[in-house]
A and B are shown apart, each in its own frame.
Chain A
Amino acid sequence: MTSTSESARPPKGSRAESYGQAKALGSGAEHSVGTLLRIARMALGYRWRMLIAVGAVIVAAIFQLLIPQFLGNAVDNAQGLLAGVPGTEAEAQSALLVAAALLLGAAICRGLFTMVHNYIGEAIGHGIGYELRLAYYAKLQQLSFSFHDSVHTGDLITRGMLDVEGVRMFVDAGILRIILLVILITVGSYLLVSTDAALAAVSLSFVPFVAWRAVVARLKLRRIWLNLQERLGELTRIMEENLGGIRVVRAFAAQDYEISKFGDMSDKAFEFANERVTVRMRNTTVMSFAYFIAMGLVLWFGGLKVISGDITVGQLAEFLAFMAILQMPVRQIGMMVNSIARASISGGRLFEFLDLEPQIRNKPDAKNLQLTDGVLRFENVGFAFGDEFGVGNVLSGISFSARPGQTIGIVGPPGSGKSTIAHLIPRYYDVTSGRIMIDGQDIRDLTIESVRQAVGVVQQDTFLFTASIENNVAYGDPWADGDRIEFAAVGAQLHDHVRRLPTGYETLVGERGVSLSGGQRQRLSIARSVMLKPAIMVFDDSTAAIDAATEQRIRASIREVTKDQAVIIISHRLSSLMHANEILFLEEGRIVEHGSHDELIAQGGKYRDLYELQIKPGEDHGVMSDLAGQPDDDSAA
Chain B
Amino acid sequence: MPIRPTQKSDQISRPRPPRAVVGSQVSRDEKIFAAAFDGHVIRRFVGFVRPYRRFLYIAVVAVIVFTLTQLTIPLILRFVIDNALVKEATNRDLLELAALAFGAMIFINYIANSIQQVTVGRVAERVLFDLRRAMYVHLQKVSLSFMDKTEVGRLMSRLQGDVNALQEFLETSVYAIGDIVLLSGITIVLVMLDWKLGLFTLSVVPTLLIVRIIWLPYARRAFLLARELASVVNGALAEGIHGVRTVQGMLREKVNFDLFDDKASESLRAHLRASKFAQVMVPIVDTLSGGAMAIVVIIGGNLVLGGELDLGIMVAFMFYIQRFFDPIRSLTIQYSIMQRAMASGQRIFEVLDVPVDIIDDANSIELKDIDGSIEFRNVTFGYLPDQPILHDISFRVNPGETVALVGPTGSGKTSITALAHRFYETWEGQILIGGHDVRDVTQDSLGRQVSMVLQEPFLFTGTIQENIRYRKAEATRQDIEAAAKAVGAHDFITKLPLGYESMLEQRGGNLSIGQRQLISFARAIVADSKILVLDEATANIDSYTEMQIQTALARLLEGRTGLVIAHRLATIRGADRIIVLQNGRIIETGTHPELMQHGGLYARLYSLNYASFDDIPDELVHVST
Contact = CB atoms under 8 A, between A and B. Distances in A.
29 contacts: A5-B242, A96-B301, A99-B297, A115-B282, A122-B279, A126-B275, A134-B3, A135-B5, A140-B241, A141-B248, A148-B245, A243-B139, A248-B454, A256-B444, A281-B121, A292-B106, A296-B102, A296-B106, A300-B99, A307-B85, A320-B319, A466-B239, A478-B255, A511-B24, A512-B151, A532-B250, A575-B611, A632-B488, A635-B515
A108 B283 contact: yes
B514 A414 contact: yes
B4 interface: yes
A152 interface: yes
A16 interface: yes
A384 interface: no
Interface in A1-56: 1, 3-10, 12-16, 38, 42, 45
A255 B15 CA distance: 54
A242 B403 CA distance: 30
B458 A245 contact: yes
Contacts of B496: 388-389, 637
Given A111-B284, A278-B118, A285-B113, A1 B551 contact: no
A141 B570 contact: no
Interface stretch (B256-264, B370-378, B388-396, B425-433): B256-264
A443 B570 CA distance: 44
A463 B265 contact: no
Interface in B571-625: 571, 573-574, 592, 608-612, 614-617
A249 B144 CA distance: 11
Contact of A252 (B237, B527, B542, B609): B527
Given A134-B4, A251-B447, A414-B545, A115 B507 contact: no
B319 A321 contact: yes
How big is chain A's contact interface, by range? 35 or more
Contacts of A370: none
Given A133-B264, A161-B234, A119 B458 contact: no
B152 A243 contact: yes
Interface string B112-127: 0110011001101110
Interface in B445-480: 445-448, 451-456, 458, 460-461, 470-471, 473
Contacts of B206: none
A8 B281 CA distance: 50
A8 B498 CA distance: 21
A254 B319 CA distance: 62
A129 to B, nearest CB: 8
A344 interface: no
Given A7-B507, A108-B283, A119 B271 contact: no
B554 A625 contact: yes
B47 interface: no
B270 to A, nearest CB: 10
B314 interface: yes
B50 interface: no
A44 B408 CA distance: 65
B64 interface: no
Contacts of A97: 298
Contacts of B124: 277
B87 A262 contact: no
A262 B283 CA distance: 48
B343 interface: no
A630 interface: yes
Contact of A104 (B137, B156, B291): B291
B301 A627 contact: no
A101 B294 contact: yes
Closest 7 CB pairs between A and B? A253-B447, A107-B290, A111-B286, A478-B18, A572-B542, A111-B283, A251-B452
Given A82-B304, A157-B237, A480-B19, A255 B294 contact: no
Given A1-B151, A141-B244, A237-B461, A475 B252 contact: yes
Interface string A271-309: 001100110111011101100110110011001101100
B550 A624 contact: yes
Interface string B2-23: 0111100000001110111111
Interface stretch (B32-40, B75-83, B209-217): B75-83
Interface string A82-120: 110000010011001101110111111011101100110
Given A292-B110, A479-B19, A253 B610 contact: no
B84 interface: yes
Contacts of A153: 241-242, 506
A160 interface: yes
Contacts of B144: 246-247, 250
B44 interface: no
B539 interface: yes
Given A465-B239, A633-B488, A9 B509 contact: yes
B18 A303 contact: no
Interface in A150-176: 152-153, 156-157, 160-161
A79 interface: yes
Contacts of A67: 293
Contacts of A629: 551
Most buried by B among A119, A148, A466: A466
B114 A285 contact: yes
A119 B274 CA distance: 10
B555 to A, nearest CB: 9
B363 to A, nearest CB: 19
A284 B121 CA distance: 12
Contacts of B152: 1, 4, 240, 243-244, 511
A627 B121 contact: no
B322 interface: yes
A247 B454 contact: yes
Nearest to B495: A637
A357 interface: no
Contacts of B251: 449, 452-453, 476
Contacts of A307: 84-85, 90, 92, 95
A519 interface: yes
Nearest to B112: A285
A391 interface: yes
Interface stretch (A197-205, A212-220, A544-552): A544-552
Nearest to B80: A303
